[in-house]
Amino acid sequence: MPRLRSRASARQRTRDDLTAQERQIARLARDGLSNPEIGARLFLSLRTVEWHLGSVFTKFDIRSRRELADAMPSSDLEPVPV
């Protein structure tokens, strides 16, 4: 019988799988910035922000920014350059 992983350990593994760009975008989204605001802060196009945020949602198996806050507590991320 296969072992079931806890949701927390799966999130930790996924968090470690995020790229630096995904972590930055996820933190800003979690903190309430809109996609255009994230793009302006990181000098990225809106489409690039959408792409990376979609990747983060897929890796965490979530569908909303509200779920992102639960999946990624503030202590889990490094600071984002301003």
Q: DSSP secondary structure string, the chain?
A: -PPPPPHHHHHHHHHHHS-HHHHHHHHHHHTT--HHHHHHHHT--HHHHHHHHHHHHHHHT--SHHHHHHHS-GGGSPPPP-
Tell me the Ramachandran region of residue 55: left when phi exceeds 0, alpha when psi lies from -120 to 50, beta otherwise.
Answer: alpha
What pLDDT sits at residue 7?
52
List pLDDT tens digits, range 33-76.
Answer: 999 999 999 999 999 999 999 999 999 999 999 999 888 877 54
The domains found in the chain, sorted by start residue, are 7-72 (1.10.10.10)
pTM: 0.73
